Amino acid sequence: MLEIRHLHKYYGDAVVPALADFNLKVESGEFVTLIGPSGCGKTTALRIVTGLLEESSGEVYVDGKPSTGPSPDKAIVFQLFNLFPWRTALDNVAYGLELQRVPKKRRREIAREYLALVGLSDRADHYPSQLSGGQNQRVGLARALAVEPKLLLMDEPFGSLDALTREHLQEMVQRICAERNLTVLFVTHSVDEAIYLSDRVVVMGTPGRVIGEFAVDLKRPRHEYDWRATPEYAEIRGAIWKLLRAELEKAEAPAAAVA
């Protein structure tokens, strides 16, 4: 569903690239998470795939076709909700459908369907200021899903939420992705979140490139058992953290030399 070939990205006159020969494939129906230290290019890669940022070189394909900008095939959920404060939850969810010129009656029907999917049927007429952070993020998720994209991109969508709300939304996303067979590229700084949600975890290093990939073979649905108590979890978490720790130590080495 997604193929990234030899992606490079330089910002301005920077000598060191944000992305350096970044390559990735995501199969249809697969949930893949990018994880790595701050500044390794995770969000840059996601924004290039979305079409919100232009690459310096390289190619992106979605469903076998070149992807060079925003399109209905792709939808993104941001860390910050990015909802219109003057629109109700229903009208925020309907926004993408409005851009696609779906008739008003039909787009409101679809918006109600997706609000129900994320458990917010009774908040359709509420404005963002009347909703909690977790509820606003669910509205953002419903807005992305309502256009029925082939590829769903999620940029640390739960990073600003409290731990309890974060776990609740992780469970919700896991359920929705399974029910809808969604293809997802997800960005996080949390190793546990990556393991819990993913079919595959891709570890990035600096400058932005793939330094490791791990298939997550834990059975689903994962909220139904203590997945952290399994030997598979301990093994994959240890392997991911080993790579991340090496990257963090590499980043700290120049600063220590200067000091």
Does residue 164 share a domain with residue 138? Answer: no
Q: Rounded distance, CA 94 to CA 144, Å? A: 10
Does residue 199 share a domain with residue 88? Answer: no
Does residue 117 share a domain with residue 47? Answer: no
Residue 255 pLDDT = 52
Instruction: Give the end of a domain, one of 148, 166, 189.
Output: 148
Collapsed DSSP state (helix, strand, coil) of residue 170: helix
Does residue 220 share a domain with residue 124? Answer: no
The residue type found at 178 is A
Per residue in 164-177, pLDDT (tens digit) is: 888 888 998 888 88
Does residue 157 share a domain with residue 62? Answer: yes
Instruction: Give the end of a domain, one of 148, 168, 188.
Output: 148
Q: Rounded distance, CA 163 to CA 104, Å? A: 37
Q: β-pairing, 57-62 with 184-188?
A: unpaired
Cβ-contact 74, 151 below 8 angstroms: yes
Does residue 58 share a domain with residue 101? Answer: no
The residue type found at 46 is L
Please state the rounded mean pLDDT for residues 139-154.
Answer: 91
Give the CATH number for residue 245: 3.40.50.300
**Region for 100 from its dihedrals, namely left if φ exceeds 0, alpha if ψ lies in -120 to 50, beta otherwise:** alpha
Please state the rounded mean pLDDT for residues 236-246.
Answer: 94
Per residue in 112-139, pLDDT (tens digit) is: 999 998 989 999 999 999 999 889 989 9
Does residue 212 share a domain with residue 124? Answer: no
Does residue 198 share a domain with residue 174? Answer: yes
Domain of residue 253 covers: 2-73+151-258
Does residue 105 share a domain with residue 25? Answer: no
| CB-based contacts of 223, cutoff 8 Å, min separation 6 | 171, 174
Total number of domains constituting the chain: 2
Instruction: Give the end of a domain, one of 148, 169, 202.
Output: 148
Residue 256 pLDDT = 52
Does residue 160 share a domain with residue 65? Answer: yes
Residue 254 pLDDT = 60
Does residue 25 share a domain with residue 51? Answer: yes
The residue type found at 44 is T
CA distances from 55 to 33, 58, 100 (A): 20, 7, 26
Residue 157 pLDDT = 87
Does residue 54 share a domain with residue 164? Answer: yes
Please state the rounded mean pLDDT for residues 141-163.
Answer: 89
Per residue in 43-93, pLDDT (tens digit) is: 999 999 998 899 999 999 999 999 888 888 899 888 777 899 999 999 999
The residue type found at 37 is P
Question: What DSSP string describes 78-103?
Answer: -SS----TTS-HHHHHTHHHHHTT--
Residue 159 pLDDT = 81
